[in-house]
Chain A
Amino acid sequence: MMPLLRSFIALRWIAVWQRNGRVWRKLAGPALLGNIGEPLLYLVALGFGLGALVGEVEGVDYLTFLASGFVCASVMNTASFEGIYSAYTCMAVQETWTAMLHTPLDVHDILIGEAMWAATKALLSALFIIIVAAFLGAVEGMLALAVLPVALLSGVTFAAMALVVTAVSRSYDFFLYYFTLLLTPMLLFSGVFFPVEGMPQWLQQLAQLLPLSHAIELVRPLMLGEIPQGIALHLLMLCGYGLLALLLAARLIQRRLHR
C-alpha cells in the first residue's frame, strides 16, 4: 500500500495520464461516439418506449429512474474498456509500458496513471449523460453535480478491477470471460434498469456485493436532488474494491513485467 500511496503523491503518474489524453485527442471522434452516443440512444429509446408501459418507478418516471442507472453503467463500461483494451494494447502489444519503465516511472506510476485516465473518461461520459438527462427533465437540482466525484471514484474502482484482468491476460479473447462473468451480471443485477427490490431475497443480497450497486445507490438520489442514505457504506465498498484491485494489479503487473 505504501508504494502506491507514495506514487500517488509524487504525481509522476500525471505523465502517463497526459500521454493517454494525447492519444485520445487524436481518436476522440469515434471514441466519443461509442462511449456516449450509444448509452444516449438506449436512454432515449428505453426511457420513452418502456417508460410508456412502465409508468412510474420508485415515485419517478421511468426515464428519470433509468438516467441515473445509465450514468453508472456508462462509468463502469467506459472505465472497464479503457482498463482492458487500451491498457492491454499498451502493455502487451505496443510495449508502451516497457518504454515507460525505462524512464524514472515505475509500475505504480503507470497503474495509477492508467486508472486515473480511465476514471477521467468515465467522468466525461457521466457528465455528458447528466447534461442530456437534464435537457430531458430527468435531473433535479444542483446536487446532481455531486455525482461527478462519485463517478470519478467509481471510475477508478472499475478501471482497477479491469487492470487486474489485463495483468493476467495472454490475449484479447480472455476478456470475454470478464465481460460475461462479471460485467454483464453486474449491469443486469445492480439496479440499472429496474429496482433490485423486485428480485428474490438471495439475489438482492448478492447484488449488495457488487460495486455497481453502491455507485447506483449514491448516484440515483443525487440526480433527484436528495442526500443518499448510507453514504459511508457505499463509499467504503467502492474504495475497498478499488484499493484491493489496485494492490492486486500492482503485484501482478510487477510480476509480469519485472520477470
Chain B
Amino acid sequence: MSTVVRAHGLSKCYGTQRVVDGIDLAVHEGECFGLLGPNGAGKTTTLRMLLGMTPPNGGELTVLGYPIPEQARQMRHLLGVVPQQDDLDPEFSVVENLLTYASYFGLHGSEIGQRIEALLDFASLRQKASERIDALSGGMKRRLAMARALVNDPRLVILDEPTTGLDPQARQLIWQRLRALLNEGRTLILTTHYMDEAQRLCDRLAIMDRGRILDVGSPSELITRHIEPHVVEVHGEGVERWREQQNGHNLMRSELVGETLFCYTDRERELVESLCGHDGLQYLSRHATLEDVFLKLTGRDLRE
C-alpha cells in the first residue's frame, strides 16, 4: 500500500497565530481519510497546504510523490478538489462548467465528451445539463462540484466539508457517491465536523484542534482507545445526589454538562440498575460514539 500524502512537522502561521502547528500526516492509497475538528481547528488551512495553495512556514510535504508546493502543478494533474465554498461559473450551464474546467487541464472536445456524459450520470444531473447554475439546488451544486473535480480522472480527491449546509437527503446522496469513488480505487481526503459522516465514511481519521492533531485512527480504534464502551446519559430531579451516591462504587467516570450527566462506563448494566427507584431521573443508555471521543479530546467549550 503506497502513501499518497506524507507530511512531517507541517506548520502555518498567520501573524502570531499558529494555525497549523507541526502536524504529521500519512494518507494511504485507496482510503478515505478524514480531518475532524471544530471550527477554526485548521482543517481548511491544512487542505490548502496539500493543494499547494498555501505555502507552509515549516515542515515537509509530499502529495502523490511530488514535493509541495514546489511541484504542485504536476501534482494537480492527478488531483480533484471540491472546495468548501461553491466556485462554479455562474454564467455557464452545467455542461459548460464541466467543459470549461476540463479545458484547464488541457482536455478538449471528443476526448472529454464521453467522460462528461458519465459525469452527468454520476452527479444525477442529466436532466439539468443545460440549466444555468442559479437554477440548481444546493445539493445539485455540490454534486456538480464533485463531478467537476473528476474531469481529469484524479487519483486523489480532496473535499472540504462536502455536506455542510445540505439537507439529510442530499447528504445521503453525496455519501453514496463518495463511496462509489472509493470503490473505483481513488483516495479521498475530506474535512468534516459531522460525527456521523466521519464514522460512516472514513477508514481513518485525524482529530484536529487548535492546529494540532490529537489522535489518528479508525473510528472504532479511536473509540476503544479513548472512551469506555457505554454511555448513560442521566437527567432529572436529583441527578447530582445520585452522582454523589455513586462515588466510591467505581462504576463510572462522569461529567455534568448543563442538566445532563454523562456517565462513561464498561459496567453499564450495574449502572442502569442503580438508577432504578430514582423516580425523578430519566436516562438513555447507548454505545459510545465518535462524538464522545471528540468531545473528550477537544473539550466542550463553544467555538465560533
Q: Is the CB of A15 within 8 A of B103?
A: yes
> What is the minimal beta-carbon distance from B57 to any residue of chain A, in angstroms?
12
Docked complex: B54-107 residues within 8 A CB-CB of A: 54-55, 73-74, 76-77, 79, 81, 83, 85-92, 96, 100-101, 103-106
Q: Is the CB of A19 within 8 A of B87?
A: no
Any A CB within 8 A of the CB of B53: yes
> What is the minimal beta-carbon distance from A126 to any residue of chain B, in angstroms?
25
Question: Known contacts A96-B89, A258-B53, A258-B54; is A105 also within 8 Å of B83 by CB?
Answer: no
Any B CB within 8 A of the CB of A98: yes
Residues of A within 8 A of B85 (CB): 95
Q: Is the CB of B103 within 8 A of A101?
A: no
Q: Is the CB of B105 within 8 A of A103?
A: yes
A12 to B77, CA, bound (A): 13
Question: Known contacts A96-B89, A259-B54; is A103 also within 8 Å of B76 by CB?
Answer: yes
Any A CB within 8 A of the CB of B213: no
Q: Is the CB of B91 within 8 A of A26?
A: yes
A98 to B104, CA, bound (A): 12
A104 to B91, CA, bound (A): 22
Residues of A within 8 A of B89 (CB): 19, 23, 94, 96, 99
Residues of B within 8 A of A257 (CB): 53
> What is the minimal beta-carbon distance from A252 to any residue of chain B, in angstroms?
16
Q: Is the CB of A22 within 8 A of B96?
A: yes
Residues of B within 8 A of A259 (CB): 14, 54
Q: Is the CB of B73 within 8 A of A99?
A: no
Any A CB within 8 A of the CB of B51: yes
Docked complex: B17-63 residues within 8 A CB-CB of A: 51, 53-55
Docked complex: A203-250 residues within 8 A CB-CB of B: none
Instruction: List the A residue with the shortest CB-CB distance to B14.
Output: A259
Residues of B within 8 A of A22 (CB): 91-92, 96, 100
Residues of A within 8 A of B92 (CB): 22-23
From B55, B87, B96, B106, A98 is in contact (CB under 8 Å) with: B87
> What is the minimal beta-carbon distance from A13 to any residue of chain B, in angstroms?
11
What is the interface of chain B, defined by CB distance below 8 A to chain A? 14, 51, 53-55, 73-74, 76-77, 79, 81, 83, 85-92, 96, 100-101, 103-106, 152
28 residue pairs A–B, Cβ–Cβ below 8 Å: A12-B106, A15-B106, A16-B104, A22-B92, A26-B91, A27-B91, A94-B87, A94-B90, A95-B85, A95-B86, A95-B87, A96-B89, A98-B53, A98-B87, A99-B83, A99-B87, A99-B88, A99-B101, A100-B104, A102-B79, A102-B81, A102-B83, A103-B101, A104-B77, A104-B104, A104-B106, A105-B104, A257-B53
